[in-house]
């Protein structure tokens, strides 16, 4: 491929809500816009069962439905979606080279929207029984344990959302959190605490997951208030204890103490022309609507940056 054929004005890496919105705004600005996603566009939205707080949709829709609409909308505005894996991002002068398993592309503006992966507890039995009773996705694996006894670990929005979904599948659900109250939004926290099929236990930690080698059978809890450990039977354990930002492609970029990329209000990182949006970015509130807004800002500011490089900035 010639350099002309491989150049894009904006290249977005990651196809969640932030990346898809960035692609839409890039295309709408009549810029050559490419979104690279190694899996299906949609990101973590794909596993949301009931999306009830996305503005403009008073009736619930699934995360999959929203992802489809965002994808179609981006493509309608001319954005190109490439199913590929990005191996590296290298800057030389004002130009970035994006190396993928389907070739190299160049661009003046990179928008990183690679999101975050589920954090693990790193306790005995967690890795051994992953996929055999231990899960990090309720909508993916919950139906396999319909009417079984399930455990949810965590106290944030994701944990509460997933617990409410699992409560539709079983009447025997326990939820533990290591602190004495949830950190989730109040409306979600109250919904979980008042649910007749969810047994909430605060000040509890999961210490070990046991089984017969093929599936889990019991877990070991530590009750911090009573200062004691006890064992209880379970058929499934769902873990939602935070996320790890996927920043491997942001080499040399400034990050905060927890590993998230630090940006200014234009979503630009410490490196000119390199933007970060969504769950990979340091932000006080992680929601689909926030990610989408960040994607729009990043594309808008990237377009202004490209105009500056070409001497076309509006005065």
CATH number at residue 274: 3.50.50.60
The count of structural domains within the chain is: 2
Q: Is residue 85 part of a domain?
A: yes
Tokens representing residue 126 in the block: 């967690």
Q: Which residue has the tokens 């396999």?
A: 144
* Helix residue ranges, H only, the chain: 3-6, 17-28, 63-76, 138-141, 157-166, 186-193, 288-309
How many residues make up the chain in this entry? Answer: 315
Q: Which residue range(s) make up the domain with 131?
A: 120-239
* Cα 126–chain centre separation: 21
Contact status, residue 228 vs residue 221, Cβ threshold 8 Å: no
d(CA 195, CA 190): 8
From 196, 215, 239, the end of a domain falls on 239
Q: The pTM is what?
A: 0.82
Q: Across the 315 residues of the chain, what is the mean pLDDT of every consecutive 10-residue run?
A: 78 97 97 96 81 88 93 97 97 97 97 94 95 89 94 95 95 97 95 97 98 95 98 97 94 94 97 97 88 97 94 64
Tell me, yes or no, whether 194 and 284 share the same domain.
Answer: no
Q: Which residues belong to the active site?
A: 137, 140-141
* Cα 197–chain centre separation: 28
d(CA 82, CA 38): 8
Tell me, yes or no, whether 104 and 143 share the same domain.
Answer: no
Question: What is the predicted pLDDT for the residue at 7?
Answer: 97
Question: What is the predicted pLDDT for the residue at 1?
Answer: 46
Q: Is 196 exposed, middle or buried (0-12, 13-18, 19+ CB in 10 A)?
A: exposed
Tell me, yes or no, whether 232 and 127 share the same domain.
Answer: yes
Q: Is residue 314 part of a domain?
A: no
79's CB contacts (< 8 A; 6+ apart) are 23, 24, 26, 27, 33, 34, 35
């Amino acid at each position: 491929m010639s350099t002309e054929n491989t150049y894009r004005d904006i290249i977005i890496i990651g196809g969640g809500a932030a990346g898809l919105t960035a692609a839409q705004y890039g295309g709408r600005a009549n810029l050559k816009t490419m979104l690279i996603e190694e899996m299906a566009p949609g990101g973590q939205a794909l596993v949301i069962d009931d999306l009830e707080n996305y503005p403009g949709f008073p009736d619930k829709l699934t995360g999959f439905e929203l992802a489809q609409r965002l994808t179609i909308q981006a493509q309608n505005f001319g954005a190109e979606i490439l199913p590929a894996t990005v191996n590296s991002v290298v800057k030389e002068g004002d130009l970035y080279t994006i190396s993928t398993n389907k070739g190299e592309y160049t661009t003046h503006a990179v928008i990183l929207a690679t999101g975050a992966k589920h954090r693990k507890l790193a306790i005995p039995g967690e890795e051994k029984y992953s996929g055999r009773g231990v899960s990090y996705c309720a909508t993916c694996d919950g139906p396999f344990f319909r009417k079984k006894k399930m455990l949810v670990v965590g106290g944030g929005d994701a944990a509460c959302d997933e617990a409410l979904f699992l409560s539709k599948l079983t009447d025997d659900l326990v939820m533990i959190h290591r602190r004495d109250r949830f950190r989730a939004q109040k409306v979600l926290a109250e919904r979980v605490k008042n649910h007749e099929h969810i047994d909430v236990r605060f000040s509890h930690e999961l210490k070990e997951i046991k089984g017969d080698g093929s599936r889990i059978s019991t877990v070991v809890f530590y009750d911090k208030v009573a200062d004691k450990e006890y064992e209880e039977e379970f058929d499934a354990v769902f873990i939602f204890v935070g996320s790890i930002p996927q920043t491997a492609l942001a080499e040399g970029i400034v990050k905060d103490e927890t590993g998230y990329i630090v940006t200014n209000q234009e979503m630009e990182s410490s490196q000119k022309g390199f933007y970060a949006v969504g769950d990979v970015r340091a932000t006080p509130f992680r929601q689909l609507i926030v990610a989408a807004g960040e994607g729009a800002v990043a594309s808008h500011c990237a377009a202004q940056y490209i105009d500056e490089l070409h001497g076309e900035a509006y005065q």
